[in-house]
Structure 1
Amino acid sequence: MTAESDGRPAVTRRGALRAGGVAALAGLAGCTALPSAPGRAGSGSDDGPVAVASFFTFFDFGRQVADRTPLTVENLVPTGLHGHGWEPNASITRRIIEADAFVHVGEDFQPWADRAIETIKGDDVDTALVNARKGIDLVDLAATLDREEEGVGAQRGQDPHFWLDPRRAKRSVDNIADGFAALLPEHADTFRDNAAAYKADVLDRIDSDYEAIFDRAERDIVQLAAHNAFQYIGVRYGVRMRPLVTNLAASGDVKPVDIREAVTTIRENDIRYIANGVFESQRPAQQLVRETAVEAYFPVTPYAGVREEWVEENWGYEEIADNINMPTFEIVLGNESPREAAPSAGWLEQWRNFDPV
């Protein structure tokens, strides 16, 4: 830490915020309230070290890695919102600056996170940056990507949704463990032991279960009434993911040509069930149910957000895979009937042609 001319230690930006000072930061940090209380998990105390995450998936990975350590991990994305395309208010920047570490998804995916990182670097804030995407190979965007979307939300025409592949997700768990170990080296062994256990017990098991689902499918195409977020599932397990919204934005518009191509795909492949994003518009899926042989749509999610009941039940990446994505893939691939695939009583009633969040 540098020293000022009077010999007193310089006050870090984060320290000043914690002390309630530095009026010059008011325009950046603001005083608006969070739209919803973020998730918080860990065994640390309220005044202990805190890591904040820009995306639900990496909050969940982070809390698994931080188990049995003083580090608390927080999810910055409010409940009910999709983590990609959300623009937070200024209080989120303040929370990042106050934190000991910021877990993010790498460049060009969440513009607000990129701006926060620029602030941290430009103002010498002592918040440690943990890039969950470090060293991970990305795949090229699907050929169906709109040309005007090239480079928007992606890095040089590559798909940023790598965490849907459990094998790539394992590398991000290691990245988080390394970042936490650098922050709290006295707990490095615990962070890395937790990471190893989570990869072996959860991500390897999910990978095996997904592989079994796709291996026994006679159909090799999935029609999604959702945005272009699932290509890593297709690449990893050899299935064609056909998104209705061909760009990367969850709020992207559905064009008439998109509907026509989906109708053709449904007819040519005798598709009776399709998948739809939990946090996306239901109107295109409803249109396909009305105008094609599709009987129903069921939920999928790229682990980008959480519902209130998922928070109450403490669901993470594992529980969402088991209770949302896997049953739906069983159904839309034709492996099982909706009733056979339903993991619990009431699932079919809740999720068949489900209402928007």
Structure 2
Amino acid sequence: MTHDSIHQENVTCSFRRALAALCLALIALLAACGGTDGPRTTPPADGRLRVVTTLFPLYDFARSIAGERAQVSMLLPPGMEPHSFEPRPDDMLRINSAGLFVYTNPVMEPWAARIIQGVDPNRVRVINAGQGAGYRTVTPDGDADGHEHGHQHAGALDPHIWLDLDNAQLMVDNILSGFTAADPVNAAYYRGNASALKSRLADLDRRYRGGLASCERREFLHGGHYAFGYLARRYNLAYRSLSGVSSESEPSAARMAAMVRHIRESGAQYLFAEELLSPRLTETLAAEAGVRVLRLHGGHNLALDDFRAGVTFISLMDRNLVNLQKGLACRPK
């Protein structure tokens, strides 16, 4: 590809993003001009609360809370990597026809701020599922600095909060608050479902603590972006990734060479690859370092086949546990 063609492609992408932003603004203006005299939301034909979520963990938590009494959908198309997602005009229409919109946090979905500005608060309740979570900061190249901050801080915050299962349970509570406020008639039903979900998350946490307690290795190496810092901290593991927090960040040749050296010096037998991203780079590093590749799932989104099969966040995390135990040479309890 020539320099001119690359430049033309970049200009085209910029134009498309600008056009999409303009369309979103126009739709937001139309939605805001709709007045507040109408019903709170346009319900499905069966009268259930309609809920729109952004990423898969929120979708899975929300559908567990909803049971049969609310309709939950996910904004992110199955199979799409979320860090590069940009909402389309019809996404704005979906949100404005819902009773509840749930997003992860302003760091994970910076575009959510634009959407929220165009949402009529008299029709749609907006829930920041990460409200009150403990956030970690990372350096631009994906190394943790060891500090924690409240959600109001911005910059190098790690947005992957659902991989700390205390944060995951907090997110369930935040989502539940939206359900009970938007549909108080079914509040007791939603509370019961949320309590059952939190119990399953607590059981998952116990499986992780037991399953990772007796491992020969305490560091896992990852050939993708910095997504598993919360998980590593929770279970007292060291973690090193090839790239920074954004999956779109490109590792330098020096960073790649340093990763290969570290793999060799550490004595690791496995390098972990990431779901929804091409494993080509990870496989190249693994071949250079003489190790094998295992998959880890960050939970951001599902492949289409998994989505259609009804795979859950907890089942994804159980898959991760199996591969972590193999990669870290963990002894059974």
Band the TM-score falls in, shorter-chain normalisation: 0.7 to 0.9
Secondary structure of the residue that 2:118 maps to in structure 1? helix
Tell me which moved more, 204-213 or 52-61.
204-213
- Structure 2: distance between partners of 1:55 and 1:238: 27
Question: Which residue of 2 is the match for residue 316 of structure 1?
Answer: 312
Question: Which residue of 2 is the match for residue 19 of structure 1?
Answer: none
Q: Structure 1 129/179 Cα, relative in aligned 2: closer, same or farther at 3 Å?
A: same
Secondary structure of the residue that 1:140 maps to in structure 2? strand
- Structure 2: distance between partners of 1:232 and 1:184: 33
Match of 1:284 among 281, 286, 299: 281
Question: Which residue of 1 is the match for residue 7 of structure 2?
Answer: none
- Unpaired runs of 5+ residues, structure 1, are 1-23, 30-43, 147-153, 341-357
Write out per-residue CA displacement over residues 91-146 of structure 1, whole angstroms, 9 at most, x where no aligned residue: 111111111110111223212222101211xx556211111111111122258438
CA contact (8 A) 1:178 1:192 kept: no
Is 1:94 matched up with 2:89?
no
Please report the TM-score for the alignment, with normalisation by the length of structure 1: 0.75
Write out per-residue CA displacement over residues 68-93 of structure 1, whole angstroms, 9 at most, x where no aligned residue: 42x11111111111223211321111
Write out per-residue CA displacement over residues 250-281 of structure 1, whole angstroms, 9 at most, x where no aligned residue: 12212112212211221122111111111123
Which residue identity is paired with 1:126? R
Q: Structure 1 217/142 Cα, relative in aligned 2: closer, same or farther at 3 Å?
A: farther
Question: Which residue of 1 is the match for residue 294 of structure 2?
Answer: 298
Question: Which residue of 1 is the match for residue 17 of structure 2?
Answer: none
- Structure 2: distance between partners of 1:304 and 1:293: 29
Q: Structure 1 308/124 Cα, relative in aligned 2: closer, same or farther at 3 Å?
A: closer
- Structure 2: distance between partners of 1:125 and 1:109: 25
Match of 1:204 among 199, 202, 205: 202
Match of 1:326 among 300, 312, 321: 321
CA contact (8 A) 1:162 1:169 kept: yes
How far the C-alpha of 1:235 sits from its partner, in A, is 1.0
Match of 1:263 among 257, 260, 265: 260
- Structure 1: distance between partners of 2:121 and 2:321: 44
Question: Which residue of 2 is the match for residue 54 of structure 1?
Answer: 54
Which residue identity is paired with 1:157? A
How far the C-alpha of 1:207 sits from its partner, in A, is 0.6
Which residue identity is paired with 1:129? V
Secondary structure of the residue that 2:82 maps to in structure 1? coil
- Structure 2: distance between partners of 1:319 and 1:309: 14
CA contact (8 A) 1:57 1:304 kept: yes
How far the C-alpha of 1:27 sits from its partner, in A, is 4.1
RMSD: 2.5
Please report the TM-score for the alignment, with normalisation by the length of structure 2: 0.80
Match of 1:214 among 212, 223, 240: 212
The alignment of Structure 1 onto Structure 2 pairs a total of residues equal to 288
CA contact (8 A) 1:106 1:132 kept: yes
How far the C-alpha of 1:26 sits from its partner, in A, is 9.3
Which residue identity is paired with 1:222? F
Which residue identity is paired with 2:289? T
- Unpaired runs of 5+ residues, structure 2, are 1-22, 29-43, 144-152
Q: Structure 1 182/276 Cα, relative in aligned 2: closer, same or farther at 3 Å?
A: same
- Structure 1: distance between partners of 2:225 and 2:24: 37
CA contact (8 A) 1:51 1:99 kept: yes
- Structure 2: distance between partners of 1:88 and 1:25: 8
Question: Which residue of 2 is the match for residue 129 of structure 1?
Answer: 126
Q: Structure 1 256/93 Cα, relative in aligned 2: closer, same or farther at 3 Å?
A: same
Secondary structure of the residue that 1:109 maps to in structure 2? coil
Task: Say which structure, 1 or 2, has more relative contact order (CA 8 Å, 6+ apart).
Answer: 2
Is 1:173 matched up with 2:161?
no
Secondary structure of the residue that 2:272 maps to in structure 1? strand
How far the C-alpha of 1:164 sits from its partner, in A, is 0.4
Secondary structure of the residue that 1:206 maps to in structure 2? helix
